[in-house]
Chain A
Amino acid sequence: MANSYLEPILIRAEARVEEAILSNIIETRSPKDDVEISSFPIAVMLVAASANSHLKRRYAVAEAKRVSNLLKDESEEKIAAVARNFNWNIKIVKFNVDALTYNFALSFPHFLRNAATIQDAKWKLINRLMLNGEVYLTKNEASRLLQEEVRRYIEGKLNTEVGALPQNVMERVERLKRLFNEIKGKIPSEEIPKEVMSDAFPPCIRELRKSALAGRHISHVGRFTLTSFLINSGMTVENVIECFRPASDFSERMTRYQVEHIAGGRGSRTKYIPPKCDTLRTHGVCPGMDEICSNIHHPLTYYKRKLRTIKTAAKTPTVPRE
């Protein structure tokens, strides 16, 4: 790989990954087409060799965004061709509603596969125009949706096994890993303290806990949400079991089994986390949002935020007495 013909390709590949790390998107390109094209599989190899799942994700998103941005300026036919490459069932249409022009009709399973992970309200199926199994999309929307498909495609490539690489290549991989860790280190990650602070629980958990302690019936989704939240907030299995004791059909054996399972102590050994806010709304567990709720998507994020505000309030010096 120390070959002078390959060197520019390797340099460009490293630059692609570096740009992904620093800017979350890749916008530059090599003036030489052959270098640009060949650098992609090499960049994929570098990232795959890093064996860092966060870096893989970051790189896949950045490359996918680049593809999506390029597609926005292409013709409908070109976009449809790319989509069909991913087996999308898509039609070119021209359909005006209000001030919008829809250019594509996409079968709903393909829409859902790619849109369900996008957080914005306009990507919820219920907020789309759907007719006869087809969801209507503008050109920009079709490109945005393809971004998700491309991201998954690249993530798949990044997860393939990489054999031993020459030392000069591994040095680049290590350099990229260091850079990524440096950048990531700047974003403070919020840790959950050991002590459980029930004052910082979100409204849904407060409601569920109140119902449990009063012995009222709680739905299956509700019980799972409460248990997994409490376990993740640091509560012990014993204390979680106590919350359910007042239920009329309480069975210590069954409850212990379920709580331990959710805590990761049995069977699959995975520790479960509570469902997202969106899912809690679907199943009628969300009792209505407060101010913090409108800025978060997950009950545990609420908990971390609220803990932060409680801590800041505690640290704020009181006015000294004269």
Chain B
Amino acid sequence: MNKIETKAFIQEKFAEYYRLNSASIDPPSSLANREFAFLLFKERMMLRHKGVKNAEDLRTLLKTVMPSDVYYSSAHYEKPEEEMEAKGWLGADLVFDIDADHIPTPCGKQHDTWLCNNCGETGQGAHPEKCPKCKGLKFDDKSWLCEMCLESAKRETLKLIDVLTRDFGLSPQEMTVAFSGHRGYHVHVEDEVVQTLDQMARKEIVDYMIGIGLEPRLHGLEGDLGPNLEEAGWRGRIAKGTYEILLNTNAEQLEKMGLKQNIVNSLINQRDKILESWKSRGPWRMKIVSSESWKKIVQKAIENQSVKIDTVVTTDIHRLIRLTNTLHGKTGLKKIHVSASDIERFDPLKDAIAFKEDKISLVVFEAPEFRLGDERYGPFKNIEVELPTAAALFLLCKGAAQVKEEH
């Protein structure tokens, strides 16, 4: 099958999913006030400003439109079907998006590839500033997802839930956590008190999460004083982050923070004494580190403790969000709810599988080794294989394969 036929094949599979699973598609709260949007397969165009009356209406739409991706507005509108200016904004859920794209991951995204548009040179990871071969500046990027990406995203999500719970006082019932179906997680807060927060207020919440604008002196770091491990909020986080750096970091990493050789040596040689100091008033008054060097360590501590959220999603009060239990056009996996208490055990590569029956024969161009469910597949390179539907659709959606012609 060629590219166009493969696309039609994927669409047919997606449509089949919506026919068989329509009962699992639940509309969001305040349904009548939400805008819906559908990304169309063939046209790659977004059908926007759709209103939905009830769950049945939504399920019928999915079966007839047969979209590649389904979204609804985080905002509530008086008239969701009108143009943006005439919608009448009433409020918006507070939404957080955690995506491996925004997190430095241990895999270094080596599974992502780039292609120079000018000379055809390819490479791994994020594209370089200039093509090493022709100095070209334009690239096509292809993203992949691996267990390390997903694990990093999960760690950040846990950090986010922790801050929302302890600092923002939200209970697990007030948060909805979901795996996005690709490289990340979404956390929604629908509580009444956040609905009418404006962009400025949401920006302040973003800064709180990502550690922007934090002034250590306003958290008790002044002279030889500093916060303690058991303190709340960012005070405690600064202490905890500093503690972890002093406990775990080796000489090379400390030097990378811009610390001088003699300070690095004292920190390593006196590690026991430093750790002991946390039992009383912390290491802040120990003379081995100058206040300039404390600043560097604390800066790194803040960076480590911050939550790497997508800043644009949270500040955008008109954002479109993927609907739960619908498919992700880049993977064929579904967006799925995760209970906040169960997230540690959640396995996105297993629990988000939407297709559980049948097999499909493919021609795979190139794909690294990957896991789906309990099976491992690949690596593949220019090979014909028969794979379970979920794994096959994953490769097809990623553009790494085509359906084999049937003769």
Interfacial residues, chain A to chain B (CB-CB below 8 A): 97-98, 107-109, 112-113, 115-117, 121-122, 124-134, 214-216, 219-221, 246-248, 267-268, 278-279, 281-284
Contact = CB atoms under 8 A, between A and B. Distances in A.
Given A116-B204, A131-B233, A282 B85 contact: no
A127 B219 contact: yes
A97 B219 CA distance: 10
Contacts, number: 108
Contacts of A246: 137
A117 B213 contact: no
A129 B233 contact: yes
B346 interface: no
B359 interface: no
Nearest to B200: A116
B405 interface: no
Interface of B: 85, 117, 129, 137-139, 166-170, 193-194, 197-198, 200-201, 203-208, 210-215, 218-220, 225, 232-235, 311-312, 315
Contacts of A278: 203, 213
A128 B232 CA distance: 11
Contacts of A221: 312
Nearest to B85: A268
Contacts of A247: 138
Contacts of A125: 204-205, 207-208
B167 A220 contact: no
Nearest to B169: A133
Contacts of A248: 117, 137-139
A133 B170 contact: yes
A294 to B, nearest CB: 14
Given A97-B235, A124-B207, A130-B167, 10 more contacts: A107-B193, A125-B204, A126-B204, A127-B213, A127-B214, A133-B168, A133-B170, A134-B169, A221-B312, A284-B311
Given A112-B205, A282-B315, A126 B234 contact: yes
B203 A126 contact: no
A247 B117 CA distance: 12
A246 B136 CA distance: 11
B1 to A, nearest CB: 27
B201 A127 contact: no
B220 A98 contact: yes
B213 A281 contact: yes
18 contacts: A107-B193, A108-B168, A112-B201, A116-B198, A124-B207, A126-B208, A126-B213, A126-B214, A127-B234, A129-B232, A129-B235, A215-B137, A248-B139, A267-B85, A278-B203, A282-B207, A282-B210, A282-B311
A215 B138 contact: yes
Contacts of B201: 109, 112-113, 116
5 tightest A-B contacts by CB?
A133-B169, A248-B138, A112-B201, A132-B169, A116-B200
A220 B234 CA distance: 30
A53 B312 CA distance: 32
Contacts of B311: 282-284
Nearest to B140: A248
Nearest to B211: A126
Contacts of A214: 137
B100 to A, nearest CB: 17
Contacts of A126: 204, 207-208, 211-214, 234
Given A116-B204, A126-B208, A130-B168, A220 B218 contact: no
B93 to A, nearest CB: 14
A138 to B, nearest CB: 13
B213 A124 contact: yes
B194 A109 contact: yes
Contacts of A121: 213, 215, 218
Contacts of A219: 312
Nearest to B163: A130
A284 B306 CA distance: 14
A301 B170 CA distance: 39
A98 B233 CA distance: 15
A247 B138 CA distance: 7
A109 B205 CA distance: 10
Q: Which of A98, A112, A216 has most chain B Cβ within 10 Å?
A: A112
B225 A112 contact: no
Contacts of A281: 212-213
Contact of A216 (B137, B193, B197): B137
Nearest to A89: B193
